Structure 1
Amino acid sequence: MDITQNYFEFLALPVTYQLDLQALSERSRELQKTLHPDRFSHLSDRERRLSVQYTAYLNEAVATLKHPLSRAQYLLKLKGLDTFSESQVQLDPMFLIQQMELRESLEDIASAADPEAELEQLRQTVEQEMKSLREQFDRYYQQSTPSAYEAAAVCVRKMQFIDKLGREIEVLEDQLFDE
């Protein structure tokens, strides 16, 4: 095991956005069995510490690769592009207007005649937008050129907006229907 490897190498998976989640899960279980600290309890402090480090790295790798947005961010990080921190990248004004409209729709749901239907409609809109952005990201990423990676980074920044809106929809749903 080598925690200097990237997550894909560590898990012996192909470096790709369209990751086989079943293979990720299977490989994770295999490594968890091998690396679990209990298996090293009778060994030296150094070996126990390494086991804990490997297990932590494995958990971080799986959590990152499991989710499409964090996987996209990680892939771009491997190419030298940081989409984790705030960026000065200008997003398309039409996209930003769409985001404002979607947020206004979210704010209006609580007072709607049928909030459940409105919430479901908004959720579907957000899911479709995210699906479209994921497909765009994958197309750009596969082109493997610096300009395509930059375009993929713009997709990721848009995905961050959509992901946040999706989480806000879940919060509102909890507030409205789990009382």
Structure 2
Amino acid sequence: MAFDFSLDHFSLFGLQRTFALDSAVLESAYRALQTQYHPDRAASLPDADKRQALQAATRVNEAFQLLKSPISRARYLLQLVGVDTQEETNTKMPVAFLMQQMEWRETVADARASQDMPALDQLAEDLGKERRGLEAALVIDLDVQHDYEHAALTVRKLRFLEKLDQEIGDAVEVLLD
């Protein structure tokens, strides 16, 4: 029941280090490892082996959660090649993206003030399209062109969208209460 803690998350699941990945293959590999390293399988073993089984199961779960999230997977791939996305410190964005952000935030505020649930639904749908477009760009940046600087910018854009999506969710909750 030996577990190699030195493996990166992709190697752990037997996957290539790529942004584009087949979620069904990831899920299947996860279930196999989850079964193999489940702590219940070590119940009759010495305490040290039980601890290692628990650590292995925890690592498998953490790796799966990270890889199944596109933004986390992109961050991790960039980290593996030594690139920091600087999400907390680098807020420099293209002017067009910043203008779009302002428009989206105004839409959230207006929809919330006027209790316009359809406007929030439409904005959430629009953001979903934008997010999918940025994720498609990450496939090109990370897997094809290896343009890590542009990929880091795209991750920062996705982080903005993630925050905006949370604002929409908060506005919906207020309207539903």
Same fold (TM over 0.5): yes
> What value does the CA root-mean-square deviation take over the aligned residues?
1.6
Per-residue deviation, residues 108-135 of structure 1 (Å, max 9, x unmatched): 11233x6121011111221111111111
> How many Å separate the matches in 2 of 1:4 and 1:89?
33
Tell me the equivalent position of 1:135. 136
**1:8·1:14 contact (CA, 8 Å) conserved in 2?**
yes
Which of 49, 53, 56 is matched with 2:55 structurally? 53
Could you tell me which residue of structure 2 aligns to residue 92 of structure 1? 94
Q: Normalising by structure 1, report the TM-score.
A: 0.90
Q: How many equivalent pairs are there?
A: 175
Tell me which of the two structures has the higher relative contact order, counting C-alpha pairs closer than 8 angstroms and 6 or more residues apart.
Answer: 2
C-alpha distance in structure 2 between counterparts of 1:89 and 1:110, whole Å: 26
Q: Superposed, which structure 2 residues align to 1:84-123 within 5 Å?
A: 85-88=87-90, 90-112=92-114, 115-123=116-124
| Structure 1 residue ranges (4+ consecutive) displaced by more than 6 angstroms after TM superposition | none
> How far did 1:14 drift?
2.0
Instruction: Determine if contact 1:73/1:84 at 8 Å carries over to the other structure.
Output: no
Change (3 A) 1:144 1:43: farther
Alignment identity in percent?
35
CA distance, structure 2, for counterparts of residue 160 and residue 14 of structure 1: 25
Match of 2:20 in 1: 18
Distance 1:50 1:76 in 2: 29
1:165 — aligned with what?
Answer: 164
Deviation of the 1:84 alpha carbon: 6.2
Unpaired runs of at least 5, structure 2: none
Which amino acid in structure 2 is aligned with residue 164 of structure 1?
A: K
The answer to whether structure 1 residue 152 and structure 2 residue 154 are counterparts is: no
Which stretch of structure 1 is more off in the superposition, 80-89 or 30-39? 80-89
Picking from 78, 81, 92, the partner of 2:80 is 78
- Encode CA deviations 1:25-61: one digit per residue, 9 max, x unaligned: 1111111111111111111122111111111111110
CA distance in 1 between partners of 2:86 and 2:47 (Å) = 35
**Given the two structures, how large is their TM-score scaled by the length of structure 2?**
0.91
For the 8 Å contact 1:72–1:156, the answer to whether it is kept is yes
Deviates more, 1:78-87 or 1:18-27: 78-87
Please give the alpha-carbon distance, in whole angstroms, between the structure 2 residues aligned to 1:85 and 1:92: 15
